[in-house]
Chains A and B, each alone.
Chain A
Amino acid sequence: MEAKGLRLSSGGGIIGQRLSGSIAAAILVAACCVAVVPFAFMLGASLMPGSDVTSIPYRWIPEKPLWSNFLNAMRGSDGDWIYLRNIFNSFVVATTVSISSVFLASFTGYGLAKFKFRGRGIVFMGIMATMMIPFEAVMIPLYLTAVKLGLQDTYAGLIMPFLTSAFGVFLMRQYLLGFPDELLDAARIDGCSELRIYRSVVFKNAGPAVATLAILAFRGQWDNLLWPLLITQSEELKTIPSYIVRYTADLTADEGTMMAVAVIAALPVFCLFFTMSKYFLQGAGVYSGSKS
């Protein structure tokens, strides 16, 4: 990493180098500030009374941190604590989807990567084709299908359309293609059943791909607004995004509390981000990474 940086900035005079180097750093630091400012605003405002959030001039640091905003955010404007329930729902949905998408995707990906059965090419192409079907284009027919299956306004309805993803299958297949066949054969000679091989040889060694996919799936559901909006009616089954929309739509709601609601929603994913940033960046780079 270091050697490469030196290479890119060598040549030209030392002064020129330093100058262009510091210009680059200045641009990057400015960009990072722009990226981070709304976070600072969100955090600061979540501890202010609403009148301070829209005060002119705006003071970034709350005079006295107003922790009750967070209590009010949880309690909700109707005092029914429904936000807690919605947070719980988001956890249930995101965790279930994350676990199931890892299992189903690795299962399917393993089948596609390591068995030369007849029709494999067609199955693979078929699944890849569904990757091109964007959710936004099938949500209405999907909704009708879900209603037919009796999934309306249920947890199953929130979860089932996302049990796995074509992208996940693709990711796992690519990863498992590189898995050494010798290990599988050795396990077979030892008398392992195929299922056991999958469980204790393949899945256990797919760590990085599993982590990347689990995080992508969790985040996807944590962020999902459109589908819960369609499939759920009762407030008890709604997830965080729809609650935020409802709260923000209320123009009389206190802005400080609104930002506290936002901070609470952002917190879990940011905890994940700070502890597992490597897999986040890997997840982001998957597209360009799949090329090599």
Chain B
Amino acid sequence: MTTVRKKRSLEARRNSWGWFFVAPGILFFSTFSLYPICNALWTSFHNKKLLSLKPPKFIGLQNYAKVLSSPDFWNSVRASATFCLGVFLPIFIASLLFGVLIASRTRGRRFYQLALYSPAILSSVVTASVWAIMFDPRGLANQLVNGLMGTPGIDRRWLADSTMVQISTMLVYIWKTVGYYTILFVTGIGKIPASVIEASIIDGANPWQRLTRITMPLLKPTMALVSVMIFIGSLKTFSTQYLFTQRGAPLEPINVLTLNIYNTALYEQNLGRASVMSLLLFATLLVLSGIQVKAAGSGEDM
């Protein structure tokens, strides 16, 4: 009896070392994640200016009302939504296609993966600056498009026209992220048990049937995961839009939520409204993340 109790207390003492190991982490996450988000909630109900020394005044839902009734906010919602929807299908289809094709190859898989992934390595600001030069009126983009369409000398106004600048930001984003999602699909396909595919070959399925009846259905969890990740990622886009507007592109068409939050906080110095927009963005991303966890979880049954 006593030895059992002794053993138990020894184990309990050892397990309390767990607290020792997680304590620094808890301190960090409380200071830099939990506290700020609580603070954001508090600020959203107060009238707080960035550099003002006056104590913030409680103003209830006024910040929310102001944000929700401002056309500027709704323009940002439109800009973010357009961006998300605009990049979703191209990225999803291209990465799924490339993923399936790479998985079907015997040789050069690694090469294809690395080549397609390389844009994702480039930092987003460098990417934006390279594309900004290619989108120059006399730049490569005009020349390539005019060359392909046989229309020499036409300026597509990539960074000047309000529709074109939206397309330009999407192109940059698609170019940069397709490789990343391709790798997720390659990994997902690699997880399909070989026995399932062997069984289908014995049953006489041809490659097309195997793709549509075996691979695709078994890839559903990965597809769900990738879809949500594309949405979350594209809602967070900032660098390209910021750099393009700094280089003189019109702000309004590409004033996505993140950019608007940044400008509202830093230039208008209105932290209350910036916090409200942050929280609305957070709520949206939280819903999407919840779906992502579900999607990732459903993969465990695979």
Interface set of A (CB-CB < 8 Å, partner B): 1-2, 4-12, 20-21, 24-25, 27-28, 31-32, 34-36, 38-39, 41-42, 45, 53-58, 104-105, 107-108, 110-112, 114-117, 119-120, 123, 126-127, 130-145, 160-161, 163-164, 166, 169, 188, 194, 198, 219, 222-223, 225-226, 229-230, 240-241, 244-249, 251, 255, 258-259, 261-262, 265-266, 269-270, 273, 277, 280-281, 284-285, 287-292
Chain A's nearest CB lies how many Å from the CB of B63?
Answer: 12
A241 and B302 contact, CB distance less than 8 A: no
6 A–B contacts from the bound complex (CB under 8 Å): A108-B24, A111-B22, A133-B282, A140-B40, A266-B122, A288-B184
Chain A residues with CB below 8 A from B229, complex form: 287
B33 touches A223 (CB 8 A): no
A281 in complex: contacting residue of B103, B117, B128, B281, CB < 8 Å: B117
Does B267 touch A at the CB level, under 8 Å? no
Chain B interface residue bracket vs A: 35 or more
Contact for A287 among B98, B114, B225, B286, CB less than 8 A? B225
Report Cα–Cα, A8/B206, bound state, in Å. 9
Chain A residues within 8 Å of B198, by CB: 7
The distance from the CB of A76 to the nearest CB of chain B, in whole angstroms, is 15
Describe B's contact surface by its main secondary structure: helix
Q: Are B299 and A28 in contact (CB under 8 A)?
A: no
B183 touches A266 (CB 8 A): no
Q: Which residues does chain B contribute within 8 Å of A225, judged by CB atoms? A: 124-125, 238-239, 242
Are A269 and B275 touching (Cβ within 8 A)? no
Q: Among B32, B97, B111, B124, point to the contact of A142 (Cβ < 8 A).
A: B32
Cβ–Cβ contact A41 & B140, under 8 A: yes
A6–B120 alpha-carbon span in the complex (Å): 30
- The reply to whether the CB of B207 lies closer than 8 angstroms to some CB of chain A is yes
Q: For residues 209 through 245 of chain B, which have their beta carbon under 8 Å from a beta carbon of chain A?
A: 210, 221-222, 225, 229, 232, 236, 238-239, 242-243
Min CB distance B154 to A, Å, is 12
Q: Does the CB pair A164–B43 fall under 8 Å?
A: no
Among A4, A31, A198, the residue within 8 A (CB) of B194 is A4
